[in-house]
Structure 1
Amino acid sequence: MEQRGCKCTVRGSINHDEYFHVERIVRPGETISSKTHESQVGGKGANQAVAIVRAGGIAYFYGTVGRDGTWVTDKMKHYGIDVGGIIVSDDPTGRAIIQVAADGENSIESPGYFPETSHLLLQNEIHPRSMAYALDNARNATIIYNPSPLPSDQELSRFPWNKIDWLIVNEAEAAGICRSLNRSRANTTANMSTRELVFLLSAHPSFATTNIICTLGGDGVLAFIPTFHRPKTAHEAPSFMHLQAAKLQGEIRDTTGAGDCFTGYFVQGLMEFGPYAKVGKTIREQEIARILKMSVYAAGMCVEKMGTIESIPTRAQVEARMSASP
């Protein structure tokens, strides 16, 4: 797909992931044996950069590795990522310990010059100063933020949400941000549906123009796009876009990279409309639905395989699955 001059700078984490395959996720204070162990490239930033490339896009990665991590950089080059922004430090490369249980669930413990770019993708595995620098220097870029893992309440309350064009969250993250920004209603948010939480979030002044994408796991994805869905009057109910999850062609084997796969595919979908595309003008509602559908399919295919980066499907594979689906 033609990129129309678009490239995405991913400012994020890159780790040396240690995978331990276990019968179930270990409990606090417990010791269990793993069945197998393997080392792979990881980190949410690295995962999402690879997903953008697998979806057909151009990704520039900016992050830090230690002198022990040259193999990580080489691996990223192999995946097709421009690694000109990777800095080598004297500190060791970040590591993440990932347990993958027999049912596919995962548990992750993570340790943590700006280019001209059309799109900037951020997650929350980097230092807040690095995040602020990227936000301040991404001039005229479309900014996508996936606040995972969720920041502290203090960080959430200070974050410059008005700079974000697209917010990609899961249900727990949406609830956490709502509680932090609407503390007077903290008791009521606990009983809200996901739609109510997303609409409450969109009603906050900092989110007046922010497009919110909320992933729902096996229930698909929910989107609130202010241009299309914000009520015109106080008596009108909000509308949403909801897409069902893709039907799997096998069992769930590993959920570790599904969210990053979804995010990368979604960002690539936005880039196909050019560097200055505007929702409601260049990008219409049905086109957002098309981007979401492909992203959902890609994430569904991801959980059918073990691993993180290795499980992210190519654009051709996703299109073939979609064309074969009813």
Structure 2
Amino acid sequence: MKVLCFGSANLDHVYKVDHFTVPGETQGCLEYNIKCGGKGVNQAIAMAFAGNDTYFAGIIGSDSGLLKDALVDKGVHIDYMKISNKPTGHAIIEVDQSGQNHILLYGGTNKEIDFEYIDEVLSHFSKGDIVVLQNEINNVPYIIERCYEKEMKSFFNAAPYDIAVKNYPIEKVTWLVVNETEGAALSNEEDYEKIIQTLKQKYPHTHILFTMGKEGSRVLTDKEDIKVEALKVNAVDSIPNYEEVFE
């Protein structure tokens, strides 16, 4: 079994600040770093770290050798990564003293994924293989449809959420991963229990992983409903960057 993480790759420009910059203010930063990010890259490294035979598919610019090196260093295959002459996706991130963040995202090459590239990548995978997706790239619905046709198992993290997700063929996804905000938007509910029940009714054949921040998470399948408690930690930085987790 192979795992394909088809997704985004970003260079994160991280600025640690005393407070979030307000309109009209010029503020010096306390610390600056460039880090490898993007939900697709983070997912790929997490899957490889868990011992899976993991491949990353996505498009980066010629300016992003750092991303290639990071994936290879963590054991991710990059055979199906594509190089473009356009700028790599990147994020401008402010992190305040409490560890909270503001993020400005530029899609860049993450928005260049076309049907031809998708079909070429998927030709190397077959029934029973796993595809892991998020919503930072374009043509996600097409990837879901093609993986369903190939009888691949699919995991879709509906982040970052936008209204178009409501029209995605989520009923063809094996696992849907949402947090409180994404779950509320998809279900038009706000109460946790109502969100979960509405999603199960709407997508009866899709398993659901519902993350609830400090409240932990819920795992719902046809046969199980499992509550997982969150670990109690002091937040330092809430940016989902693999370097803080796997190093």
**Do they superpose with TM above 0.5?**
yes
SS in 1 for 2:136: coil
CA 1:173 to 1:30, structure 2 compared with 1: closer, same or farther past 3 Å?
farther
Name the CA distance, whole Å, in 2 between partners of 1:157 and 1:10.
Answer: 22
Q: Which has the higher helix share?
A: 1
CA 1:141 to 1:28, structure 2 compared with 1: closer, same or farther past 3 Å?
farther
CA 1:156 to 1:28, structure 2 compared with 1: closer, same or farther past 3 Å?
farther
Whichever residue aligns with residue 156 of structure 2, its letter is Y
Task: Decide whether the 8 Å contact of 2:2 with 2:125 is kept in 1.
Answer: no
SS in 1 for 2:12: strand
Shift of 1:15: 0.8
Name the CA distance, whole Å, in 1 between partners of 2:24 and 2:180.
Answer: 28
Question: 1:109 pairs with 84, 93, 104, which one?
Answer: 104
Shift of 1:201: 1.6
- Aligned pairs for 1:26-175 within 5 A: 26-112=21-107, 113-114=120-121, 115-117=124-126, 118-127=129-138, 129=139, 131-138=140-147, 139-152=150-163, 155-175=164-184
CA 1:140 to 1:101, structure 2 compared with 1: closer, same or farther past 3 Å?
same
- Aligned pairs for 1:232-247 within 5 A: 240-247=225-232
Aligned residue in 2 for 1:200: 198
Is residue 14 from structure 1 mapped to residue 9 from structure 2 by the alignment?
yes
Aligned residue in 2 for 1:256: 239
Name the CA distance, whole Å, in 1 between partners of 2:63 and 2:168.
Answer: 33
Task: Decide whether the 8 Å contact of 1:213 with 1:224 is kept in 2.
Answer: yes
Name the CA distance, whole Å, in 1 between partners of 2:34 and 2:88.
Answer: 13
Name the CA distance, whole Å, in 1 between partners of 2:196 and 2:24.
Answer: 36
CA 1:197 to 1:81, structure 2 compared with 1: closer, same or farther past 3 Å?
same
Question: 1:177 pairs with 186, 204, 218, which one?
Answer: 186
- Aligned pairs for 1:275-314 within 5 A: 308-313=241-246
Name the CA distance, whole Å, in 2 between partners of 1:157 and 1:309.
Answer: 29
Note the alpha carbon deviations across 1:260-280, whole angstroms, 9 max, x for none: xxxxxxxxxxxxxxxxxxxxx
Note the alpha carbon deviations across 1:133-181, whole angstroms, 9 max, x for none: 32233211110000100022xx1332111111101110011001112xx
4+ residue stretches of structure 1 with deviation over 4 A? none
TM-score under structure 1 length normalisation = 0.67
Whichever residue aligns with residue 223 of structure 1, its letter is V
User: Which of 1 and 2 has greater Rg?
Assistant: 1
Shift of 1:29: 4.8
Task: Decide whether the 8 Å contact of 2:158 with 2:165 is kept in 1.
Answer: no
SS in 2 for 1:245: coil
Note the alpha carbon deviations across 1:237-288, whole angstroms, 9 max, x for none: xxx421211233xx2111111xxxxxxxxxxxxxxxxxxxxxxxxxxxxxxx
Taking only the aligned residue pairs, the percentage that are identical comes to 29
Q: Show structure 2 runs of 5+ residues with no match.
A: 108-119
Task: Decide whether the 8 Å contact of 2:56 with 2:81 is kept in 1.
Answer: yes
TM-score under structure 2 length normalisation = 0.87
Aligned residue in 1 for 2:115: none
Moved more, 31-40 or 131-140: 131-140
SS in 1 for 2:44: helix
Whichever residue aligns with residue 15 of structure 1, its letter is N
SS in 2 for 1:68: coil
SS in 2 for 1:9: strand
Shift of 1:90: 1.1
Question: How many pairs does the alignment contain?
Answer: 229
Aligned residue in 1 for 2:116: none
Q: Which has the higher strand share?
A: 2
Task: Decide whether the 8 Å contact of 1:10 with 1:120 is kept in 2.
Answer: yes
CA 1:120 to 1:29, structure 2 compared with 1: closer, same or farther past 3 Å?
farther
SS in 1 for 2:63: helix
Aligned residue in 2 for 1:214: 210
SS in 2 for 1:33: coil
Moved more, 14-23 or 26-35: 26-35
